[in-house]
Amino acid sequence: MDIHGMDSMASPHEAKASPSMDDGMKKMAVHMTFFWGKDGNILFSGWPGTSTGMYALALLLIFALAILVEFLYRCQLVREQPSSLFGSLLRTVAHAVRVGLAYLIMLALMSFNGGVFLVAVLGHAVGFLFFGSGVFRKLESPPYVKASDPIAGGC
C-alpha cells in the first residue's frame, strides 16, 4: 500500500517523495524525537535554516516570548472594576494575546529541537522568577497583599 509516496514497509528515513512533488524541492527531515542540531525549521518553513546566527535569533525570540507569557500571566495590567465593559474587554484582549503567545511557544517546541526546549523552559523560569516568585517585590508592601489583588495592581 502506498500512501502519499511512502511504502507501508518503508522506514521514515527511506520515505520517497510522491510523484506529484516538485523534484527541485529540498527534502527536510521531520524529527519526531529531540535532536540537538541548529539545522531545521522552527515556526516557519526555512527558518532558521542552516544559519547559526538565525538559529541564535530564534532561540532568543523563544526565550523572550516565554518571559513575556509569564509577565502577561502574572501581572494585572488592568485593574478590575465590577461593571466596566472597557476593562473587561482589555482583560479579554490581554488573555487572548497571552494564550496566543503560549501556543506559539508550544508550536516552536513541536520542532523537537533540544535548544528550543531548553530556552523555552529557561524563559518561563526567568519570567516566573521576576514576576511570580516575589523575589523582586518591594519590601515595604505588606506580606498579605498579593500581586493579583485589585487594590495592589501591577506585578
The residue-averaged pLDDT of 26-46 equals 72
Mean pLDDT over 134-144 rounds to 64
Residue closest to 67 by CA, chosen among 109, 43, 98: 98
pLDDT in tens, 75-133: 877 776 666 888 888 888 889 999 999 999 999 988 888 999 999 999 999 999 999 88
Over residues 37-70, the pLDDT tens digits come to: 777 788 778 778 788 898 999 999 999 999 999 9
Q: Which of 72, 42, 77 is nearest to 150 (CA)?
A: 77
Q: Return the residue matching grid coordinates 503567545.
A: 101
pLDDT at 138: 67
The one-letter code for the residue type at 126 is V
Q: What is the pTM of this model?
A: 0.66
User: How high is the pLDDT of residue 147?
Assistant: 53
- The pLDDT, as a whole number, for residue 140 is 52
Distance CA 99, CA 72 (A): 9
Phi first, then psi: give them for residue 43, nearest 5 degrees.
70, -45
Interstrand relation of 2-3 and 6-7 (parallel, antiparallel or unpaired) = antiparallel
Whole-angstrom distance, CA of residue 23 vs CA of residue 35: 27
pLDDT at 11: 44
pLDDT at 18 over 80: no
User: Chain centroid to CA 120: how far?
Assistant: 7
